[in-house]
Amino acid sequence: MNRREALNRVALLVGGSVIGADFFLSGCKSGSSVDTEDLFNQQTQAFLNEVADTILPRTQTPGAKDANVGNFMAVMVRDCYADDDQKVFKKGIKQLEDACDKKFKVGFMEATVEQRTQLLTDLDKEQAAYSKTKEKEAPNHYFTMVKQLTLLGYFTSEIGCTKAQRYLPVPGKYDGNYPYKKGDKAWALA
């Protein structure tokens, strides 16, 4: 982002604003007290990748698991999230498991693709409704975080840039009236 992009506030992000990007988050105190290393264990990584892959599955192009979005989520939560958001995210993993168990009597990893999709569709409705009315200071919804990080992690990954979108490192020219037809992929960079 540069100044011109900052001026053009057009991005309408999931949940309204980018979690972790607030300028005056409480997270500026020294050192995080939240242990996030367990996000990197094999089990959690597999879980996060499956959740991400339910949000952005493999289609004609590779999916979120192919781009290892689970690892990206863990890195962002560890390094970029404020303590409060880290806690919400960690607790959210358990909440998501519990919600799955309550709905289908199975854990998320054992659930079918249809069950996973149904569950996350419901959670997305829940987070959208919550984010719409939440007070600024109120905690963020964990699924807002999961969805944001999945989109960010996937569409800025090498796979997301070069396979799901078109990546042009050196365009060399500008055309402000370039033809487009439905189905053409977006450019990977703004």
**Near other proteins in 143-172, by CB under 8 A:** 147, 151-153, 155-158, 160-161, 164-165, 168-172
Burial readout 9-33 (b: 16 or more C-beta within 10 A, e: otherwise) = eeeeebbeeebbeeeebeeeeeeee
- The residues, any chain, with a CB within 8 Å of residue 153's CB and separated by 6 or more, are 52, 64, 67, 69, 72, 73, 76, 160
106 counts as binding other proteins under rule CB under 8 A: no
**Near other proteins in 11-30, by CB under 8 A:** 11-14, 20-21, 23-25, 27-30
- Smallest distance from the beta carbon of 148 to other proteins, in angstroms? 9
88 counts as binding other proteins under rule CB under 8 A: no
Q: Is 20 helix (H, G, I), strand (E, B) or coil?
A: coil
Which residue number, 133 or 170, has a Cβ lying nearer to other proteins? 170
Q: What separation in angstroms does the CA of 40 have from each of 23, 70, 106, 166?
A: 27, 9, 23, 30
Which residue number, 29 or 91, has a Cβ lying nearer to other proteins? 29
Burial zone of 60 (CB within 10 Å; 0-12 exposed, 13-18 middle, 19+ buried)? exposed
**The binder of other proteins chosen from 35, 38, 79, 98 (CB under 8 A):** 79
CA distance linking residue 165 with residue 151, whole number of Å: 13
76 counts as binding other proteins under rule CB under 8 A: yes
- Smallest distance from the beta carbon of 114 to other proteins, in angstroms? 11
**Near other proteins in 34-63, by CB under 8 A:** 54-57, 59-61, 63
**The binder of other proteins chosen from 17, 41, 81, 139 (CB under 8 A):** 81
Which residue number, 138 or 168, has a Cβ lying nearer to other proteins? 168
Q: Let me know: does 140 contact 25? Beta carbons within 8 Å.
A: no
Q: What separation in angstroms does the CA of 47 have from each of 68, 71, 102?
A: 11, 11, 18
184 counts as binding other proteins under rule CB under 8 A: yes
- Smallest distance from the beta carbon of 55 to other proteins, in angstroms? 4
Which residue number, 88 or 152, has a Cβ lying nearer to other proteins? 152
